[in-house]
Amino acid sequence: MKTEKLRFLLTLVLIGMTTQVVRAQQARVFLAPPSYTVSNVGLTFNVNVTIENVDDLYAWEIKLYYPNDILNATAVAEGPFLKTGGMPTFLHLLNFTDNYSATHGLLHVFCSRVGNVSGISGNGTLAAITLKSIATDGPKALHLDDVKLSNPNPGQIAYTTADGEVAVVPEFATALILPMLMILTLSAIIFRKKTRTKL
């Protein structure tokens, strides 16, 4: 009898040791693409605020700081993630200025589902931000700060963030390569003829 109880207890211990508990990964909020190079001044481009591994997201809030010496922000649009299932949402710009400080502009956005509905789980785009290059420099940081994620209870959702970066670096115009090669070739021929003449 004691032997059977001992075997039973050992079996439970072994089952407990070999059972794997799968834990959900922590939510992550990041910019996509993480690094962007703008090929000239005066061009607009989009950076997405993206989320992954989130569980039961009902509302979010973010601050994005960007270098105002090389960029202006021109627009923000809600991404499709919270709208999943066709539910209505509410997007509110709390602050949207290129002159938040001497060095940075600020985009402060809040978004929520509306009504007594569940949150959304998984991965997706929270917002698309349109930026415009105004000068050359970089790479410089696009910094996510004061991010808040909540479920319908409401309760805070744990997360990590990852910043992005942008550089405005004009590409060497390919149209100029051929004329420059021709000029260099002609210069070499002229220099060679002058050298032979002197000899």
For residue 3, name the pLDDT band (cuts at 50, 70, 90). very low
Q: Is the pLDDT reported for residue 23 higher than 60? A: no
Q: Rg of the chain's alpha carbons, rounded to an integer? A: 28
What is the tens place of the pLDDT at every residue in 140-177? 999 999 999 999 999 999 999 999 999 999 865 444 45
Question: Residue 175: its pLDDT value, please?
Answer: 43
**Containing H/E element for 53?**
strand 44-57
Round to whole Å and give the CA distance between 48 and 6.
Answer: 58
pLDDT band at 191 (very low <50, low <70, confident <90, very high): low
**ω before 67 within 30° of 0 (cis)?**
no
Distance CA 137, CA 164 (A): 15
| Residue matched to tokens 């917002």 | 127
- Dihedral sign from CA coordinates of 8, 9, 14, 20: positive
pLDDT at site 8: 41
pLDDT in the model for residue 81: 98
54-75 pLDDT tens trace? 999 999 999 999 999 999 999 9
Structure tokens at 2: 């004691």
Mean pLDDT of the chain: 85
Q: Which of 129, 122, 123 has its CA nearest to residue 164?
A: 129
> Residue with structure tokens 């021929």?
189
Enumerate the H helices of 1-112 as residue ranges: 2-18
Domains of the chain, earliest start first? 25-195 (2.60.40.680)
pTM: 0.74
**Omega before 154 within 30 of 0, i.e. cis:** yes
pLDDT at 34 over 60: yes
Residue 102 pLDDT more than 90?
Answer: yes
Lowest mean pLDDT among 20-24, 28-32, 117-121, 123-127: 20-24
Tokens standing for residue 104: 């940075």
pLDDT at 170: 86
Residues 194 and 199: their CA atoms lie apart, in Å, by 9
- % the chain with pLDDT above 70: 74
